[in-house]
């Protein structure tokens, strides 16, 4: 059973200053230059907690939280609440809204068939976030999950809630508007809990945080007295219905740093793809991909020429690719690219992130990195539909790394959740 609870959020007070100067993207979306920029915005910027520049970042973040609580820069809400969180954003000059729920979500191991991952995780990021949990005993950022709500029960709850006065409203540096409503009414929360209890959840972003939270929970259970209501049995989570029209997934393009496109490789590709030369411009490449959304299509750019690729036959690929996944997953574009184009046709072997392969969201950035010599080749792809991610995850099949970019991410800094051993929900 899915179990959500309200929690007493730790939030900034007016003493911290303008919220616009305090909030940040998730920690893993902040590069070193952005990190410095956020530090200059405010002495209380949230980057100083989720990604400190100081040498002992875990202890530094812990001391900061304690200091800010003592100074009244942070405060803990008196009453437990859940939060309705709406994004308003623009893509290609079209405005979208996406509405979700922030609440404490009971942690479930994947084997319990309540929460499913959709991407592969790695040890180093999990070790990093686990150290942060051990030291701070706080959930600093929510995990982002999706669920199915065909009856619109949750959506109706959102519609009623958003008629009331909001608690937070701010526009960030990317011109995304964030609006949050705080819900404390126990009866309303019970209706929400009942509507969610039979749902299945799929993680879209925050796999490492979720798995670290499971590890932390299991550690604390061996060290402290606890009950089912102990806060560390839960994680602060942002949950969105998969039917939400503003649930957007952007493509993530692949750049090969060391491998060039040879005439032999191009010839091999023509055996499986209809290959056509196209203009090496952002507009032409994006236009090709847009026109081929219902097919398996890619673009390649080598710094001089660009090519459009259309797969000739799904069956050939599914017969050659043997990765243990179902046929539907084997013929997803990102899987074809990794397991067929890279591994079988190009014989790249395992590609190490940052050393051999990098990922970018922007077509323009992909071309610029090839033009500058930072990469040899750019492979451009279409995005995956959210419903497809939802279905694949429940088959216990995982997509290649960086297959999805659910946009926009929940902002960090609006609230944190206390998960110390003595905290109960």
Residue-wise pLDDT for 68-126, tens only, equals 999 999 999 999 999 999 999 998 889 999 999 999 999 999 999 999 998 877 788 88
Across the strands, what pairs with 241?
A: 147
Residue with tokens 């497809």: 388
pLDDT of the residue at 195: 95
Q: Tell me the domains of the chain and their CATH numbers.
A: 4-248+407-418 (no CATH), 252-382 (3.30.1760)
* HSE, side-chain direction, 13 A CA sphere, residue 194: 8
* Mean pLDDT calculated for residue range 119-140: 89
The average confidence (pLDDT) of the chain is 92
pLDDT of the residue at 354: 85
pLDDT of the residue at 77: 97
pLDDT of the residue at 20: 95
Answer yes or no: are the C-beta atoms of 110 and 118 closer than 8 Å.
no
Q: How far is CA 13 from CA 9, 10, 22, 24, 25, in A?
A: 12, 10, 11, 17, 20
Answer yes or no: are the C-beta atoms of 178 and 172 closer than 8 Å.
yes
pTM: 0.89
Predicted confidence (pLDDT) at residue 141 exceeds the cutoff of 80:
yes
Which pair of structure tokens corresponds to residue 348?
């790249």
Predicted confidence (pLDDT) at residue 330 exceeds the cutoff of 80:
no
Which of 99, 41, 343, 114 has the alpha carbon at shortest distance from 244?
99
Residue-wise pLDDT for 116-128, tens only, equals 998 877 788 889 9
- Residue 335 pLDDT level (bands cut at 50, 70, 90): confident
* Mean pLDDT calculated for residue range 148-158: 93
Report the DSSP pairing between strands 234-241 and 143-147.
Answer: parallel
């Amino acid at each position: 059973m899915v179990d959500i609870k309200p929690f007493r959020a730790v939030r900034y007070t007016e003493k911290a200053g303008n919220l616009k100067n305090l909030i940040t993207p998730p920690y893993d979306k902040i590069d070193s230059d952005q990190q410095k920029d956020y530090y200059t915005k405010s002495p209380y910027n949230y980057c100083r907690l989720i990604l400190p520049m100081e040498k002992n970042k875990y202890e530094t973040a812990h001391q900061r939280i304690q200091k800010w609580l003592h100074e009244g820069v942070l405060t803990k809400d008196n009453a437990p609440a859940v939060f309705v969180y709406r994004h308003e954003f623009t893509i290609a000059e079209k405005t979208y809204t996406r509405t979700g729920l922030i609440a404490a979500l009971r942690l479930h191991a994947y084997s319990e068939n309540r929460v499913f991952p959709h991407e592969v995780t790695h040890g180093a990021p999990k070790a990093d976030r686990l150290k942060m949990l051990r030291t701070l005993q706080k959930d600093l950022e929510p995990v982002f999950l999706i669920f199915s709500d065909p009856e619109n029960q949750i959506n109706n709850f959102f519609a009623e809630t958003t008629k009331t006065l909001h608690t937070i409203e701010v526009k960030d540096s990317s011109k995304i508007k964030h609006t949050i409503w705080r819900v404390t009414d126990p009866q309303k929360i019970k209706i929400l809990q009942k509507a969610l209890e039979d749902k299945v959840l799929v993680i879209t972003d925050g796999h490492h945080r979720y798995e670290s939270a499971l590890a932390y929970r299991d550690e604390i259970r061996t060290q402290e007295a606890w009950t089912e209501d102990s806060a560390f049995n839960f994680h602060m989570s942002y949950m969105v219905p998969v039917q939400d029209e503003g649930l957007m997934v952007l493509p993530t393009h692949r750049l090969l740093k060391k491998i060039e496109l040879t005439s032999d490789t191009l010839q091999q590709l023509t055996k499986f793809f209809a290959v056509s030369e196209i203009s090496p411009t952002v507009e032409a490449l994006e236009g090709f991909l847009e026109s081929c959304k219902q097919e398996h299509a890619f673009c390649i750019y080598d710094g001089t020429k660009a090519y459009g690729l259309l797969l000739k036959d799904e069956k050939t690929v599914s017969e050659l690719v043997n990765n243990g996944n179902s046929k539907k997953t084997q013929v997803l574009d990102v899987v074809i690219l990794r397991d067929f184009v890279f591994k079988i046709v190009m014989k790249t072997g395992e590609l190490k992130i940052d050393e051999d392969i990098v990922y970018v969201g922007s077509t323009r950035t992909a071309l610029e990195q090839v033009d500058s010599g930072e990469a040899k080749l750019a492979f451009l792809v279409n995005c995956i539909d959210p419903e497809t991610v939802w279905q694949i995850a429940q088959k216990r099949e995982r997509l290649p790394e960086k297959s999805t970019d659910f946009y926009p991410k929940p902002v960090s800094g609006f609230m944190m959740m206390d998960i110390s051993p003595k905290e109960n929900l």
